[in-house]
Amino acid sequence: MIQKLLVCAFLSAAAIPAQTTLTATATTRYFTGVRRNLEASADAMPADKYSFRLTDGQMTFREWLIHSAQRNYIDCSTLKGETAPKTDADIAALKDKAGVSQALKDSFSYCAAVIEKLDDAKVLASPQLTYSLLHIIVHNNEVYGNIVGYLRASGIVPPSTAGRALK
């Protein structure tokens, strides 16, 4: 149900004046913000907290970032029509903050380059491509929503909140 609503919202965004496109709207309003928040979170969390988990049943902070990077490569390679340049196993093998943080940033760079070259008509004509574009934004916001708790429990103000305090 929520996916249908999101598709409708994005399709409505595509119907806004001709200079505004689905991909430009997705990038400007949603992708760029969540990218900035996740990358800043990766930088803000101390290396010794990458193995932190809120409860025994949850993923570690590191695992959340790895999960985000893995899905970014899967979804963006689908949008580009190629095999992902990094495999799930490549990314899952990373253990230290520097490697995990860089993998996350690389996955976002890869996605930004893919999104920049997308053709709205092609994306909207394919349910799989539409899903992949929406998933990049929705999924990363879900990941960010989860790791905010990890940051706060570690005494760190999340980037999205810290930015508001500067205004």
**Banded pLDDT at 21 (limits 50, 70, 90):** confident
**156 CB-side CA count, 13 A:** 17
pTM: 0.85
130-154: b (≥16 Cβ within 10 Å) or e: bbbbbbbbbbbbebbebbbebbeee
What is the tens place of the pLDDT at every residue in 136-163? 999 999 999 999 999 999 999 999 998 6
Class of 2-44+54-160 in CATH:
mainly alpha
pLDDT digits (tens, 9 = 90+) for 89-134: 999 999 999 999 999 999 999 999 999 898 899 899 999 999 999 9
Integer distance in angstroms from the first to the last C-alpha of the chain? 36
Q: Where are the domains of the chain?
A: 2-44+54-160
Residue given tokens 């990314």 in the structure block: 91
Residues 137, 30 contacting (CB under 8 angstroms): yes
